[in-house]
Structure 1
């Protein structure tokens, strides 16, 4: 990797691939190593749409954060955040308002360790090493208590997260537990893998992931994804393919329509 290595924590094994760094590579970032790039290229050879889908998902994140900012939200809780590098939440939010506050949460120790170094010196951000299913642990953490004021609207981000929570862990209950303390006017942005339009593509993808990682996402149909939201009200255009949620330009939509339909995206409001 070209450039500085001062973002690499002591003791991190850079010879083994890490999914957060693989994702960074697909986004065109610089926080990855040869082993991450080799793994990413292997996955892309068998799933040629995966890089484009990652970029569509990241582009949606940017649009969702800007949508929230336009509605006055200045504090964000990003669940399952990975490494905050290319097009990250605090970069977008603090460009609009340097006082904007962001807490990133992830269970991956490698991603958290990288994030802590990348965000060093930015006292308006924090990184929390916790499984998002531990809602009480997240909401009661010193990082969240310092930066998030639940008497004011919050932007809650669940990007490519909920499909990793199996039904037996009650993903709808997890969403409900996070939104309960949020002030009215808070917004929840999310993306979720689906096989509604292209089941063969998703079946191949999950099979490849099982071969490489030992865990697979739980792709869900439209109605089940809607069911995760409980009483939250979707804003227009509702629950749609990732590239079709308020695209701001041609780069937000893939040329191949298949790529636009593999991930659902939406933003919902708490009344």
Structure 2
């Protein structure tokens, strides 16, 4: 196979070329080893957004990667890049055991601290002087540190001053605790939307699938699908001009093809 990266694919910029370069290198190595390719979803990485856009939408001018192109940018934060992608890197042999162990330790520390602040309660006499200084409303009864940290004026340092963890935490752990606590509702909603997206994304279209035989698909849609060759129903749904009705027809046809293949192996 031929693996390309950079301007030849329609992008402009060093970062865009570097992103494609690492993906090309990874997948060239996986192909030699006869393993499945690494395909990053739009909900997993900006690299996934970039490559998916180039494949499904094409580009008439040099493509630059902007955060506005991503539907799930609340999940694609710079602070959680290691939590999102390092496990994949470790599975591929790109991340050392020491780096991976450090990731697992960080993840465990974040989870443990969130569990602690969920179960630890602050009394009015302890926390009200802090709240008064911050200009926030004071409390009349005990409140969990977790609920306190959800307040916009309260930082982790404020609750750590009065009810600290057993041992000091690294700043990267503290940052994750704050972000995952303060923005939990927003992150959860976007994660739920991404989960729905993944369900249709998981429905793969067989390699070499013939679109011309699907009754109800217009010649224009067939031509686009034949040209782009999407690898999943999710990717097909993002091809300009492909309607939800066309995806429904395609879904039925792909499922029929799958059943016929299973029967033929018996």
TM bin (shorter chain): under 0.3
Higher strand proportion: 1
With normalisation by structure 1, the TM-score equals: 0.27
User: Higher relative contact order by CA 8 Å / sep ≥ 6: 1 or 2?
Assistant: 1
Q: Which has the larger radius of gyration?
A: 2
